[in-house]
Amino acid sequence: MLDKFAIARSLRELGTLLELEGENPFKVRAYENGARAVEALEDLGARVEAGRLTEVPGIGEALAKKIAELHRTGRLELLERLRAKHPPGILELLQVPDLGPKKIAALHAALGIGTVAELEAACRDGRVRTVKGFGEKTEDRILEGLGRMRARAAERQVLLVDALAAGAALLAHLRADPAAEEVALAGSTRRGKETVGDLDVVAASRDAAALAARLVAYPLVARTIARGGTKTSVELASGLQVDLRVVPPEDFATLLHHLTGSKPHHVKLRGIARERGFTLSEWGLHRLPPGAASAGAAQEGRPDPAAKVPIASEAELYAALGLQPVPPELREDTGEIEAARAGALPVDLVRLEDVRGMVHCHTTWSDGRASVEEMARAAEALGMEYLTITDHSPTASYAGGLDPDRLRRQWDEIARVQEKVKVRLLRGTESDILEDGALDFPDRILEQLDVVVASVHSRMKMDEDAMTRRLVRCMSLPVFKIWGHALGRLLLDRPSFACRVDEVLDALAASRGAVEVNGDPRRLELEPRWLRAATARGIPVVLSVDAHSVQNLGFLGNAVTVARRGWVRRGQVLNTRPVEEFRRAVRPVS
């Protein structure tokens, strides 16, 4: 009999092997959905015996039969048949960037490659380039991908959105315990870092043992790493580690602050604390003995409890140090402490509730999965005032890009849908930036649009000089353009392409345009340092969802987090404005 985690692993393996067989992508995805559903079940055995698995969202009749077979017998005939058909190392090969099932099959047929080690050896020996459909550049890309894969494995990073989802479910579980008074995420997740290594959780309780037991009993816990008086560490089925610290309620604020980080931020705060006669540590804020601050004596061990300064909130902690409160997203030692000391921190960082319109949305006209009307009704349900329809342009043929004739037909549909909904629909495009820096729609088309997102989707391997010239030319065009997913990165998969970003921003500042903060969890760019550089030049910002489905409209919160990390203020964001003001601001041709 297999437990739920072993069953989930088997379902994922089956989905992957079926993908190699060329199975329908929707069926492949169903196995991942089923695996997640199984991991979350607390009563798997009872449901199997009662035949009630199909009551669980994500588990249909066919999948329920396979889960029951795995649970009862520990094996699945289909899975064993597929395992026998493919090399044992095939699953690991599928993790290599830019190497899909068809390429793996070709390499196996031509060179007998069945493991990552064999793949790397064949690339270094120059044998991969001899296979039809491959070449020297492909060989180099595979080696680069192998390097990135090893780096990911060493860092054990996950996307912020995945960490937040795991954290939200875990917090709900812990907060349901009567012993929990407060529970919050800390660490890099709370600061909104693009990728996260583990989950830090801080809880306020008078009964630390009860919360430790609650964590260990969480259905998604695969193993307990350590369990002590105030700290418990576990590993989830996903491989993500969770560290829970439990303290009395009066210590919650200071420990939450300490575990939120970052380390460089805290190093400077500790110096300021000592200047003011305090010592700051994970134990809280304590007054130093007379003369200790001037002598620069190091604090050894746990401070004297009698010298502890009561701190009820993080804002109180900063006030005790003579500082403005620093939002978690800014705690990276990039000038925030100096600004807080001078009273110059922005107090109007953009918030989710400030945003009035959804920008950068795809529909079934190109590579989206929802119609114009479905996207419109979803945006309306979220309380949005406007929605930009920006499907792909002609060059993006792989994504169903629209030529001028199809674009005009889309305008007709937008007009029909507009009569049914209150949310204002704006006509737009995500126009490809061509190799020479031109946009792939002529001005006669652009001037009829409300909004243009200008993005690079091809030739990302251009050298730094060529890419810089390409982008500078595009940013210098008189048409107002929103620079979309600026540097083309895909987190944990593809690095940013090479270009001199300062030069591109200079060109945009001298022209007409804005920079996009892309909320797609794999993109999350421009990164904070470049956002600050953009707004320092007076370039406005647009918070976008880059949505390809109704669910993707939820990406707006990701964009807000990135913008806050880049010190972006409400007034610098164009889509915090009412629809007509936004429309005038982004109109391609003035």
Q: How many CB atoms lie within 10 A of CB 555?
A: 25
* Segment (H or E) for 212: helix 208-216
Q: What's the pLDDT at 298?
A: 47
First to last CA, the chain: 69
Concatenated DSSP letters of 481-530: EEE-STT--BTTTBPPPP--HHHHHHHHHHSSEEEEEE--TTT--S-HHH
**By C-alpha distance, which of 515, 511, 575 is closest to 541?**
515
* Residue 400: HSE in the Cβ half-sphere, 13 Å Cα cutoff: 13
HSE-up of residue 235 (Cα within 13 Å, Cβ side): 8
Q: Which residues pair with 237 in a beta bridge?
A: none
CA dihedral 99, 139, 456, 445 (to 10 degrees): -80
Report the C-alpha gap between 223 and 216 in whole angstroms. 8
CATH superfamily, region 158-188+197-251: Beta Polymerase, domain 2 (3.30.460.10)
Residues of the chain with CATH 1.10.150.110: 4-140
Predicted pLDDT of residue 106: 86
**How many whole angstroms separate alpha carbon 106 and alpha carbon 130?**
11
The class (CATH top level) of 261-341 is alpha beta
Number of Cβ atoms within 10 Å of the Cβ of 319? 13
How many Å is the Cα radius of gyration of the chain? Answer: 27
Place of tokens 């798997």: 44
Give the span between the Cα atoms of 529 and 190, in whole angstroms. 18
Helix intervals (H) in 304-387: 314-320, 336-341, 372-381
Place of tokens 């002609």: 394
Where does CATH 3.30.210.10 sit in the chain?
A: 261-341
Q: Per residue of the chain (590 residues), what is the pLDDT tens digit?
A: 577 878 888 898 888 888 878 777 778 888 888 888 887 777 888 888 889 989 888 898 999 999 999 988 888 999 999 888 887 777 778 778 777 777 888 888 899 888 888 999 999 999 999 999 898 888 888 888 888 777 766 667 889 999 999 999 999 999 999 999 999 999 999 999 999 999 999 999 999 999 999 999 998 898 999 998 899 999 998 889 999 999 999 999 999 999 999 999 999 999 999 999 999 998 999 999 876 655 444 445 677 888 899 999 999 999 999 999 999 999 999 999 999 999 999 999 999 999 999 999 999 999 998 999 999 999 999 999 999 999 999 999 888 999 999 999 999 999 999 999 999 999 999 999 999 999 999 999 999 999 999 999 999 989 999 999 999 999 999 999 999 999 999 998 888 999 999 999 999 999 999 999 999 999 999 999 999 999 999 999 999 999 999 999 999 999 999 999 999 999 999 999 999 999 999 999 97
Q: What's residue 465's pLDDT?
A: 97
530's tokens: 């470049």
**185 CB burial (10 A radius; 0-12, 13-18, 19+):** buried
Q: What are phi and psi of 324, to 5 degrees?
A: -65, 150
CATH topology of domain 4-140: DNA polymerase; domain 1 (1.10.150)
CATH 2.60.40.10 fits 352-586, yes or no: no
Using CA atoms, how far apart are residues 292 and 288, in angstroms rounded to an integer?
A: 6
What letter represents residue 393's amino acid? Answer: S
Q: Which residues contact 451 (CB under 8 A, 6 or more apart)?
A: 359, 388, 390, 426, 427, 428, 429, 482, 583, 586, 587, 588
Q: pLDDT value at position 301?
A: 63
C-alpha 211/C-alpha 153 separation (Å) is: 31
Enumerate residues 6+ apart whose C-beta is below 8 A from 128: 107, 111, 119, 122, 134, 138, 139, 142
